[in-house]
Amino acid sequence: MEEELTLFGDLDEFTIWRKEWKDMPEFIQKDLEPEIQIIVSFKNYKDVQEFGKLINQQLTPKTRSIWFPEVKIGNVADLRWMDNIERGEL
């Protein structure tokens, strides 16, 4: 009798993470997408500068998008998870 072939071969190879992630806390990612976006066009850069003053934000020729009111975007790329062993607590 022929062994049944699956698209991904041995499925155990793709589900081994279940053993490692058992009893881990749930991770919920907040929706950080804007609810509404509006495209605003300007005739010239002087108008862009005036608009920036009206909304109290610095706009440059390279500005492609902004949040209003202004939002400070955090950089989380350098954050990582550490367990107690890595912290030297055990």
- Find which of 6-10, 20-24, 85-89 is predicted with most confidence, using mean pLDDT: 20-24
* Residue 78 confidence (pLDDT): 76
Task: Please report the DSSP string for 55-79 in residue order.
Answer: HT----TT-----SS-------TT-
Place 81 in a pLDDT band, splitting at 50, 70 and 90. confident
Residue 84 domain-assigned? Answer: yes
User: Which residues constitute the domain of residue 89?
Assistant: 39-90
Q: How do residues 37-63 score in pLDDT, each as one tens digit?
A: 999 999 999 999 999 999 999 999 999
Residues 65 and 73: their CA atoms lie apart, in Å, by 13
Residue 45 domain-assigned? Answer: yes
Q: How do residues 10-23 score in pLDDT, each as one tens digit?
A: 666 667 777 777 78
* Residue 85 confidence (pLDDT): 60
Residue 16 domain-assigned? Answer: no
pTM of the model: 0.53
